[in-house]
Amino acid sequence: MPELPEVETIAKTLMGAHGGAEFSIIDREIQDALVLWEGTLANQLPGDFIARVKNKIIRSVWRRGKFLVFTLSKDTILIHLRMSGDLRMERIIDKTGREIPLQKHDRLVLVFTSGFRLAFNNPRKFGRVWLASDPAEILGDLGPEPLDKALDAGCFHGLLQQHKRQLKPLLMNQHFLAGMGNIYTDEALYRAKLHPLRRSNTLSKEESASLLDSIRFVLQEGIRHNGASIDWVYRGGDYQNHFNVYGRTGEPCPECGTQIKRLIVGQRGTHICPHCQQA
C-alpha cells in the first residue's frame, strides 16, 4: 500500500503525533520480538535478530523514501511495507485482563515493556525488516528526497537530462528519486500535464520545474490528509477522495472533461487525461 505520504503518516503516528502519546514507540524498551514468518527478516536469522533487539530502547523514528527507520540505543531496525504491509501499535492485555489475539498475517511483533506491542501485518509477504549497525547499509542507494529543499529545479532538471527514460518508470525508480509510487506518480504527472511515456531528457527547464512542483504538491497534500486509504488496506487517511486521475478511469477530467484513460506503463496501471497529457 504505502508510498511516501503513507509512510510519513505512520512514522508520525509512531512518534505519538496522531493517536496520542501512549501509542508512541519513542523511548520504549523492546522486551522481546516474535518472528512469525522468517522470510520477513531480510538480513538476519530470527535468533540473531531477537537477541540483538532485546532490551534495546527506541530512540527515534524517521522515514527515508518508503523505509521506516527505528534508531535503537544500539543498531537500527528498517522496515519496508511494500504492497500490503501495515503496522499496529496496540495494548497486549485488554481492560478485562485478557490477552488480545494477534491477527491473521501478522509476521513480526515487537513487544514493549510498557504493555504495548507493535505488530507488522503483511498479507502478501512482500514487506521486509532489516537490522543494521549502520542504516546507510540499507538506504545507501536511494535517490534524493523529493521534499528536500536541497533538491532545486535546476538540479532536478539535470537529473532528468541524465536519462532517456519514460517519465513514469523513472520517477518510480527509488534510485532516481525516493518515495514515489504508482498513485502519486500518476497524480504528479497529471498535475504537470506531462505524459507518462515522455522521455525524461526531452523536458524543458520549465517543464522540469513544473514536474518537481507537482510532485511536491501531491506529496504534501497526501501528508496533509494522512495518506490515502484504498480497498481492504485501510490506514485512516482520506487523500483517496482527492485523486484527479488515479482509479478514475472513464470519469471526466476535472480540468477539461475528457474521459480519464487507463493504460499500462512499466507493467503498472496508469491513469491519464488524454487531452491534458499529450504524448
Residues in contact with DNA by CB under 7 A are: 1-3, 6, 39, 65-66, 80, 82-84, 104-105, 123-126, 163-166, 169-170, 172, 174, 181-183, 199, 227-235, 239-240, 265-269
Asked if 71 and 43 touch (Cβ cutoff 8 Å), the reply is no
- Residue 223 Cα distances to 6, 147, 153, 185, 239, angstroms: 7, 11, 22, 15, 8
The answer to whether residue 12 is catalytic is no
CB of 210 to DNA, least distance (A): 21
Cβ proximity to DNA: between 31 and 266 the closer is: 266
User: Cβ of residue 22: shortest distance to DNA, in angstroms?
Assistant: 26
Out of 66, 117, 198, 248, the active site residue is 66
**Per annotation, catalytic residue among 82, 91, 199, 268:** 268
Asked if residues 245 and 260 have their Cβ atoms less than 8 Å apart, the reply is yes
Least Å distance, CB 110 to DNA, is 22
In the bound complex, what is the minimum distance in angstroms from residue 219's beta carbon to DNA? 12
By C-beta, is 83 or 92 nearer to DNA?
83
Query: Which grid coordinates belong to 190?
Result: 497529471
CB closer to DNA, 91 vs 105: 105
Q: How far from 228 is each of 3, 8, 76, 173, 241, CA to CA, in Å?
A: 9, 12, 28, 21, 8
Q: Which of 2, 146, 169, 196 is catalytic?
A: 2
Task: Say whether 29 is catalytic.
Answer: no
Please give the grid coordinates belonging to residue 128.
Answer: 521486509
Give the 3-state secondary structure of residue 248. Answer: coil
Is the distance from CB of 191 to CB of 214 less than 8 angstroms? Answer: yes
Q: Is 66 a catalytic residue?
A: yes
Query: Annotated catalytic, 251?
Result: no
Please tell me whether residue 271 adopts helix, strand or coil conformation.
strand
**Cβ 237 to DNA shortest distance, Å:** 7
Beta-sheet strands, E only, within the chain = 30-35, 58-64, 67-72, 76-80, 86-91, 106-112, 116-121, 128-132, 261-265, 268-272
Query: Which active-site residues does the annotation give?
Result: 2-3, 66, 268
